[in-house]
Amino acid sequence: MKARGKDTPKVVWYIYLLFILFLFLWISVLGRNSARNTFLLRKKVVSMEAEALHLKAVNDSLAKENLRLKTDPDAAEKAAREQFGLIKPNEKVFRFVPAKEPK
Protein backbone atom coordinates (compact mmCIF):
# COMPACT_ATOMS: atom_id res chain seq x y z
CA MET A 1 0.00 0.00 0.00
CA LYS A 2 1.10 3.50 -0.83
CA ALA A 3 0.87 6.45 1.54
CA ARG A 4 -1.75 8.98 0.55
CA GLY A 5 0.51 12.02 0.92
CA LYS A 6 2.93 10.78 -1.72
CA ASP A 7 0.25 10.61 -4.47
CA THR A 8 -0.52 14.34 -4.38
CA PRO A 9 1.09 16.16 -7.29
CA LYS A 10 3.22 19.23 -6.72
CA VAL A 11 0.70 21.40 -8.59
CA VAL A 12 -1.89 20.81 -5.89
CA TRP A 13 0.63 21.82 -3.21
CA TYR A 14 1.44 25.01 -5.15
CA ILE A 15 -2.26 25.82 -5.49
CA TYR A 16 -2.74 25.22 -1.77
CA LEU A 17 0.27 27.43 -0.98
CA LEU A 18 -1.01 30.19 -3.30
CA PHE A 19 -4.42 29.99 -1.66
CA ILE A 20 -2.89 30.38 1.81
CA LEU A 21 -0.72 33.26 0.55
CA PHE A 22 -3.73 34.99 -1.04
CA LEU A 23 -5.74 34.54 2.15
CA PHE A 24 -2.94 36.10 4.21
CA LEU A 25 -2.64 38.96 1.71
CA TRP A 26 -6.39 39.53 1.83
CA ILE A 27 -6.44 39.64 5.63
CA SER A 28 -3.44 41.95 5.95
CA VAL A 29 -3.80 44.34 3.00
CA LEU A 30 -6.76 43.98 0.68
CA GLY A 31 -9.87 43.40 2.79
CA ARG A 32 -12.25 45.99 4.18
CA ASN A 33 -11.26 45.14 7.76
CA SER A 34 -7.62 44.54 6.91
CA ALA A 35 -4.76 45.40 9.22
CA ARG A 36 -3.81 48.27 6.91
CA ASN A 37 -7.28 49.85 7.04
CA THR A 38 -7.47 49.33 10.78
CA PHE A 39 -4.13 51.12 11.22
CA LEU A 40 -5.26 54.02 9.01
CA LEU A 41 -8.58 54.34 10.85
CA ARG A 42 -6.86 54.35 14.25
CA LYS A 43 -4.50 57.06 13.04
CA LYS A 44 -7.47 59.12 11.84
CA VAL A 45 -9.29 58.64 15.16
CA VAL A 46 -6.25 59.85 17.12
CA SER A 47 -5.94 62.99 14.99
CA MET A 48 -9.68 63.71 15.27
CA GLU A 49 -9.56 63.28 19.05
CA ALA A 50 -6.67 65.75 19.24
CA GLU A 51 -8.60 68.22 17.08
CA ALA A 52 -11.71 67.78 19.23
CA LEU A 53 -9.67 68.46 22.37
CA HIS A 54 -8.23 71.62 20.81
CA LEU A 55 -11.68 72.81 19.72
CA LYS A 56 -13.06 72.14 23.20
CA ALA A 57 -10.30 74.31 24.70
CA VAL A 58 -11.07 77.10 22.21
CA ASN A 59 -14.78 76.81 22.98
CA ASP A 60 -14.15 77.01 26.73
CA SER A 61 -11.97 80.11 26.35
CA LEU A 62 -14.60 81.79 24.17
CA ALA A 63 -17.30 80.96 26.70
CA LYS A 64 -15.22 82.56 29.46
CA GLU A 65 -14.62 85.65 27.30
CA ASN A 66 -18.34 85.87 26.55
CA LEU A 67 -19.21 85.70 30.23
CA ARG A 68 -16.58 88.32 31.06
CA LEU A 69 -17.93 90.68 28.39
CA LYS A 70 -21.49 90.25 29.67
CA THR A 71 -20.65 90.84 33.34
CA ASP A 72 -17.75 93.34 33.34
CA PRO A 73 -18.55 96.78 31.85
CA ASP A 74 -14.87 97.76 31.71
CA ALA A 75 -14.06 94.68 29.63
CA ALA A 76 -16.97 95.43 27.29
CA GLU A 77 -15.77 99.03 26.85
CA LYS A 78 -12.20 97.87 26.20
CA ALA A 79 -13.37 95.37 23.59
CA ALA A 80 -15.57 97.99 21.89
CA ARG A 81 -12.67 100.44 21.71
CA GLU A 82 -10.05 97.94 20.50
CA GLN A 83 -12.07 95.82 18.11
CA PHE A 84 -14.57 98.29 16.70
CA GLY A 85 -12.77 101.61 17.12
CA LEU A 86 -15.61 103.20 19.10
CA ILE A 87 -14.95 106.42 21.00
CA LYS A 88 -16.81 108.48 23.56
CA PRO A 89 -18.34 111.84 22.56
CA ASN A 90 -15.84 114.75 22.48
CA GLU A 91 -12.91 112.32 22.67
CA LYS A 92 -9.90 112.44 20.35
CA VAL A 93 -8.12 109.30 19.25
CA PHE A 94 -4.62 109.25 17.85
CA ARG A 95 -3.59 106.34 15.69
CA PHE A 96 0.06 105.82 15.00
CA VAL A 97 0.99 104.17 11.73
CA PRO A 98 4.40 102.51 11.61
CA ALA A 99 6.88 104.14 9.24
CA LYS A 100 7.75 102.35 6.03
CA GLU A 101 11.18 100.84 5.87
CA PRO A 102 13.49 102.32 3.23
CA LYS A 103 14.40 100.03 0.37
Domain boundaries, the chain: 4-84
pLDDT at 4 over 60: no
Predicted TM-score (pTM) of the model is: 0.55
Half-sphere exposure of 7 (CA within 13 A, CB side): 4
3-state secondary structure the chain: CCCHHHHCCHHHHHHHHHHHHHHHHHHHHHCCCCHHHHHHHHHHHHHHHHHHHHHHHHHHHHHHHHHHHHHCHHHHHHHHHHHHCCCCCCCCCCCCCCCCCCC
Average pLDDT in the 5-23 region?
85
pLDDT greater at residue 95 or residue 72? 72
What tens digit of pLDDT does each residue of 28-79 get? 777 778 888 889 999 999 999 999 999 999 999 999 999 999 999 999 989 8
